[in-house]
Structure 1
C-alpha cells in the first residue's frame, strides 16, 4: 500500500507519527529510533534532513551537533565521513545523556530501512533541497513511502511548490485555519490537492465545523501534540494527564494523524478507543 492510499483509507485508525523516530531508548533521528518506531507499530516516522559539506543528505534536527553529540560544530560544515564518526547521545540528547553506538545516518540509509515497512515525513531544514530529496527517494525506490512538506498559505506558495521537481513524491501542505479564512485557505490549497495538511488553528471548533469541507478536499488533517510553543494547549504532557481531553477531542474533530513524542502512549489510547 502506498502512503497516499494508506492515508485515504476511511477505515484506518488515527495514524501515529513518531517525532524524530521513537527516541525513548534510542537517539532521535537515528536508525535505531526508526527501528523502534517500526517495532512499536507506528504508522509514520518524522525525520529531519540536512546536507553535508560534501553534498550527502543526512538526518539531524539541530544546526549544530551540541545537543546530540556534545560537539559545538555546525553539522552541515562536516563531510559525511566525519559525521559518520560521531556517536549520538541517547534519547533527545543534552548534557548527561550517554553516548551510544549510533551515528549520524544518511538519508539513503534511512530510506533503505523504512521502504515498505513504515512511512516517513521528511522535514527539510532547507526547503531548497526539495528536488534533491525527491530524486533520492525515487532512486531508492521509496518515493511512494515518503512525503515532502512546506507552508502553503498564498498563491506565491503554490507557485513555489509547482516549480519544484518532486514528481512521484507525495506533497503535504502546512497551513493555519481560522474561522474567517478557512474557505479561502482551502481554495488556495485546492490548486495543489495535497493528500494531507499539517495544521494549526484558532480553535478546534473551526476544524470540527469545516469537517465536511476537508473531506470534500480529500485532505487528511495532521496535528502535532509536541511539548513545543506552537502546540498551544494540545501537548503530549497534557495528553498523558488526560488523553480524552487532548487526543480524544482532536480525533473527534476529524484529525486523523497525530505527531507525538509519546507514540507508545498514543498507540495504547487509540487501541483502547477502538476496542
Structure 2
C-alpha cells in the first residue's frame, strides 16, 4: 500500500511513529533501530537527515558527533566515508552507553532497508536539502513510501514552499502551530496546499480538536508528537506511561490519528487493548 493511501484509510487504527527507530535496544537512527521498528509492527519510522562535506546524505540527529559517536566534530565538515566509518553508541548515546558494531547509515542504505516494509518520515536538519533528498528518493523509486515535511502554517512558510522544485510526487506533510487566536488562519494556510498530513503543535488540545473536522474534510490527517522534549501541554510519553488514557486516549478522541513517540511498544499495546 502507498503511504498516502495508508494514512487516508478511515478504517486504520492510530498510526504509530517510532522516533529515530526502535532505539531502546539499538543505537538511534541506525539500521538496527529501523529493523526493530519493522519487527515491532509500527507504521512509520522517523529519521534525521544531514549532508556531508562531499554531498553524501546520512542519518544523524545532533549537530555534533559527540553524543552518538564519541567525537566532538561537526559531521557536515567531514566526508561521507569518514562519517559512515564511525561506530554508534547504544540507545540514545552519551558517555555511559557502550559502543556497538552499528555505524552511521547513508540515506541510500536506509531506503533500501525499508523498501516495502515500513513508511519513513524524513526529518531534514537543513530544509534547504529538500530538493537533494527528493532527488535521491525518486532515483531509488521510493516516492510512495516516504514523506518530506516543512513549516506550512504561515504566509512566509507558504512562500518558501512555493519556491521549492522537484518535490512534487513525494508525499508532503505541513507543519503548523495552532493557537486559539489564529487557528482558523493556520488551518486555511494548511488547506491551501492540501498536504496528506499536518504535524501539529498547539496551545491547547481543544484548539487543535476544533480544526480537526475541516482538516479531515480536506483530506488531511493530524500527526502529534508525545516526545518528552517537544510535546505540547504536558502530553508527554512519560505522562502517557503513567496514564495512557489521559494522553494517547485523549489525543485520539480529539481526532489525532498519527502519534510520534519514544515509547512505540507501549503505544501499540494501548491501541490494541482499546475497545474496537
Report TM bin, short chain. Answer: over 0.9
Corresponding residue of 1:124: 124
- Where do residues 40-59 of structure 1 align in structure 2 (5 Å cutoff)? 40-59=40-59
Tell me, yes or no, if the aligned pair for 1:177 and 1:206 is still in contact at 8 Å. yes
- Where do residues 105-184 of structure 1 align in structure 2 (5 Å cutoff)? 105-164=105-164, 165-184=166-185
Deviation readout 1:154-210 (Å, 9 max, x if unpaired): 223112112212011111011011222222111111221111001011111122233
CA distance in 1, matches of 2:228, 2:21: 16
CA distance in 1, matches of 2:262, 2:242: 14
CA distance in 1, matches of 2:190, 2:102: 39
Residues 26-35 or 71-80, more deviating: 71-80
Corresponding residue of 2:213: 212
Tell me, yes or no, if the aligned pair for 1:158 and 1:191 is still in contact at 8 Å. no
Deviation readout 1:25-75 (Å, 9 max, x if unpaired): 100000000000000001000000000111100000001100001100111
Residues 190-199 or 157-166, more deviating: 157-166
CA distance in 1, matches of 2:230, 2:149: 20
CA distance in 1, matches of 2:98, 2:152: 40
**What is the root-mean-square deviation of aligned Cα atoms in Å?**
1.1
CA distance in 2, matches of 1:213, 1:95: 47
CA distance in 2, matches of 1:24, 1:50: 22
Shift, 1:153, TM fit: 2.2
Tell me, yes or no, if the aligned pair for 2:187 and 2:211 is still in contact at 8 Å. no
Deviation readout 1:249-275 (Å, 9 max, x if unpaired): 001100000000000000000000145
Residues 1:37 and 1:252: Cα distance change in structure 2 (over 3 Å): same
Tell me, yes or no, if the aligned pair for 1:224 and 1:260 is still in contact at 8 Å. yes
Tell me, yes or no, if the aligned pair for 1:19 and 1:47 is still in contact at 8 Å. yes
CA distance in 2, matches of 1:62, 1:179: 32
Give 3-state SS (helix, strand or coil) of 2:61's partner: coil
Residues 1:176 and 1:269: Cα distance change in structure 2 (over 3 Å): same
Runs of 4+ in structure 1 off by over 4 angstroms are: none
| TM-score between both structures, scaled by the size of structure 1 | 0.97
Q: Which runs of 5+ in 2 are unaligned?
A: none
Give 3-state SS (helix, strand or coil) of 2:144's partner: coil
Residues 208-217 or 64-73, more deviating: 208-217
Residues 1:274 and 1:119: Cα distance change in structure 2 (over 3 Å): farther
Corresponding residue of 1:228: 229
| TM-score between both structures, scaled by the size of structure 2 | 0.97
Give 3-state SS (helix, strand or coil) of 1:47's partner: strand
- Where do residues 236-275 of structure 1 align in structure 2 (5 Å cutoff)? 236-274=237-275
CA distance in 1, matches of 2:230, 2:49: 22
Tell me, yes or no, if the aligned pair for 1:196 and 1:221 is still in contact at 8 Å. yes
Give 3-state SS (helix, strand or coil) of 1:96's partner: coil
Residues 1:260 and 1:170: Cα distance change in structure 2 (over 3 Å): same
Give 3-state SS (helix, strand or coil) of 1:147's partner: strand
Tell me, yes or no, if the aligned pair for 1:197 and 1:221 is still in contact at 8 Å. yes
Q: Which runs of 5+ in 1 are unaligned?
A: none
Shift, 1:103, TM fit: 0.2
